[in-house]
Amino acid sequence: MNQDYKFLKNINFPSDLRKLSESNLQVLSDEVRREMIDAVSKTGGHLGAGLGVVELTVALHYIFDTPNDKLIWDVGHQTYPHKILTGRKSKIKTLRQGNGLSGFTKRSESEYDPFGAAHSSTSISSALGIAEANKLSNKSNNVIAVIGDGAISAGMAYEAMNNAGGSKTKMIVILNDNDMSIAKPVGAMRTYLAKLLTGKIYFSLRETFKLVTSAFSKRFSAKAGKAEDFLRSAVTGGTLFNSLGFYYVGPIDGHDLTTLLPILKNARDSKHQGPIMIHVKTKKGKGYSYAEKATDHYHGVSKFNVATGEQIKNGTNLLAYTKVFANTLVKHAERDSKIVGITAAMPGGTGMDIFAKKFPKRMFDVGIAEQHGVTFAAGLATEGYKPYVAIYSTFLQRAYDQVVHDVAIQSLPVRFIIDRAGLVGADGATHAGSFDITYLSTLPNFIVMAPSDEAELVKMINTSVDIEDKPSAIRYPRGNGVGLELPSIEEKLEIGKGRVIQQGKQVCILSIGTRLEECKIAAEELRSKGIHSTIIDARFVKPLDQELILQCAREHEVMITVEEGSIGGFGSHVENLLSKNGIFDKGLKFRSMTLPDVFIEQDNPKKMYDTAGLNASQISKKILDILFTIESIKVVKN
């Protein structure tokens, strides 16, 4: 840490912060901002969101008695300033590294993180639960939720506000409105908030005045002019939130501590029975010119040069799977006007921004609303359209009931493009795509595919265009392909047919997805020991290539499945097939290699797969152990 800091060097916890005078808090905020920029420049991570809430973070910890008062952040990617001020300053340069600080809030990391979050829109629900627990326990602790304008567009946030408004339970919700989530916010809520900011909707001042009037000291009034004029400019709108039962205050300048502090204090001390909404306007990327100017306000960055803002790239020329998907879909959409794209607030992350540039009227960003997005796609499918729903694996989990009820049961041809499958590195367990193979392949009427490389991905997209009687899914990892030449969009696969990569005698390795390269290396290690392996790229989790799998099982002593997914997926389906056909009675030794039954913490992907036991040396060792057991049994029998 920079020892030139005037105040930050002496602040380890919020209790230290509260010893400062209000006049020193802006200098402290500037120091926190500098420390955060320096840390993220060395680790990479989420930058813009945290820069935008520095003053808000300082004000919240100054006014509220954290951790006794519970401060709950939505998503958590804006909490780097919070971490700096809550006992984690010395570890801030370990963000998102192995054994380092999480990039999100995490209960096991600090008592100042009362609720863990890395997905959006959970803060109001969890805060209401904590507030109700306080009531039941006769506690008077404050509970504060901070939610962004993007996150508040999600259905879960509306459900929580509806419940909170009717509960008459005191809690404080800070609506951090920075006009950005990861991408530009969409939908009617965005329009509504914009109207609040331009004063086109007005909230009755009478009740609001009761909450904020005592905040106006002489210095405060002098800055704002007449109190009445200030209220007309800074306390506007709120009819929607008011109708939901919230005591609405705002919008107010989230970077002006002389505004924030008295209003937060009054909210803290208010005897109002029910939820309070404080609408705070902030600027994503605030205080770092390169972030302020960037179109995404430096939402997520790699390591970068602080002086120039230049991000350090990995230098590879390999195409990312995401881009391969997007470019391939565009080619098909040029031929087929029924193809439409859907994403949930992640156009850039899923490649749908590329599709949108070419076909703006056929691209739908539904906002942070995965449930709606899936059922919306189902509606399109009933009318003969070919919806491609591009959502990260971990976010598709949020819409599982819709996948079952609205798509699978009706056998509608919605095509799910599942990005970030498998272990994803620095974002850790919350963003890992560990479960999609299992939760989709258990459903009737589904085709589930997993390419082993970028060329196979193109073929699977080509194949999916013609699937018109049932839903399908293609899952692939974050990152780049292996450098293969891409096939034309004419090359398609036969549904449910795998491919033999190499032929051997003793061992059959069934691989699904991008662990195939590790399986090839494992097979080479085994060959050096005189063991010759068959390798099959299964391609399809569902339907299985039953003929090929059964043939392989009958011709080999050992069969092993390898997948970058949880227990209950591909390996379980293969085992069930073998059991039904009595293969185990004939002496086949079968093992499945999956992600272990634990949540794997953040690290670089290679180390995470080492932890999972799914790298080449671990695959070959598993096979050698099985063969050693077989030989030991033969010796005993003889």
138-152 tens-digit pLDDT? 999 999 999 988 888
What lies within 8 Å, CB to CB, of 354 at 6+ separation is 323, 326, 327, 330
pLDDT value at 522 more than 90:
yes
List the catalytic residues. Answer: 284, 370, 398
Query: What tens digit of pLDDT does each residue of 329-365 get?
Result: 999 999 999 999 999 999 999 999 999 999 999 999 9
Q: What is the DSSP string of 219-266?
A: HHHHHHSSHHHHHHHHS---HHHHHTT-EEEEEEETT-HHHHHHHHHH
More confident residue, 300 or 406: 406
Is residue 632 very low, low, confident or very high in pLDDT (cuts 50, 70, 90)? low
**Radius of gyration for the chain, computed over Cα atoms and rounded to the nearest angstrom:** 27
Handedness of CA 49, 52, 57, 60 (dihedral sign): negative
pLDDT value at 205 more than 50:
no
Is residue 316 very low, low, confident or very high in pLDDT (cuts 50, 70, 90)? confident
What is the rounded distance in angstroms from the CA atom of residue 86 to the CA atom of residue 15?
9
Specify the pLDDT at position 238: 58
Is residue 426 very low, low, confident or very high in pLDDT (cuts 50, 70, 90)? confident
Query: What tens digit of pLDDT does each residue of 149-164 get?
Result: 888 888 899 899 999 9
Pairing state between β 447-449 and 540-542: antiparallel
Specify the pLDDT at position 209: 46
Task: Please state which CATH number belongs to domain 501-637.
Answer: 3.40.50.920
Model pTM score? 0.86
Question: Do 519 and 509 contact (CB within 8 A), yes or no?
Answer: yes
CA distances from 474 to 318, 392, 546, 563 (A): 20, 11, 20, 14
417 CB-side CA count, 13 A: 34
300: Cα separation from own chain's centroid: 12
Question: Do 262 and 222 contact (CB within 8 A), yes or no?
Answer: no
- In a 10 Å sphere around its CB, with 0-12 CB exposed, 13-18 middle and 19+ buried, how is residue 518 labelled? buried
Question: Do 477 and 420 contact (CB within 8 A), yes or no?
Answer: yes
What lies within 8 Å, CB to CB, of 204 at 6+ separation is none
Specify the pLDDT at position 273: 84
Query: What tens digit of pLDDT does each residue of 5-52 get?
Result: 999 999 999 999 999 999 999 999 999 999 999 999 988 888 988 999
Fold entry, domain 8-301: Rossmann fold (3.40.50)
Domain(s) labelled CATH 3.40.50.970 in the chain stretch across 8-301, 321-475
CA dihedral 181, 186, 188, 193 (to 10 degrees): 40
Average pLDDT value for residue range 501-506: 94
- The DSSP letter of residue 435 is S
Tell me which of 157-171, 220-234, 469-483, 592-606 is least confident: 220-234
pLDDT value at 219 more than 80:
no
pLDDT value at 226 more than 60:
no
Task: Please state which CATH number belongs to domain 321-475.
Answer: 3.40.50.970
Instruction: Compute the mean pLDDT over every residue in the chain, rounded to the nearest whole number.
Output: 88
Structure-token match 């939908």, residue found: 187
**Count of H helices and E strands in the chain?**
27, 19
Q: Phi/psi zone of residue 148: left (φ > 0), alpha (ψ -120 to 50 degrees), beta?
A: beta
CA dihedral 75, 300, 49, 365 (to 10 degrees): -70
Specify the pLDDT at position 300: 78
Domain(s) labelled CATH 3.40.50.920 in the chain stretch across 501-637
Beta sheet of 247-253, edge-to-edge order: 70-73, 143-148, 171-177, 275-281, 247-253
Beta sheet of 415-419, edge-to-edge order: 363-365, 339-343, 386-392, 415-419, 472-475, 447-449, 540-542
Provide the token pair at 52.
């935008």
Query: What tens digit of pLDDT does each residue of 567-597 get?
Result: 999 999 999 999 999 998 888 999 999 999 9
Query: What tens digit of pLDDT does each residue of 289-305 get?
Result: 888 887 666 787 888 88
What is the percent of the chain with per-residue pLDDT over 70, rounded to a whole number?
88
Helix, coil or strand: residue 69? coil
Is residue 182 very low, low, confident or very high in pLDDT (cuts 50, 70, 90)? low
What is the percent of the chain with per-residue pLDDT over 90, rounded to a whole number?
68
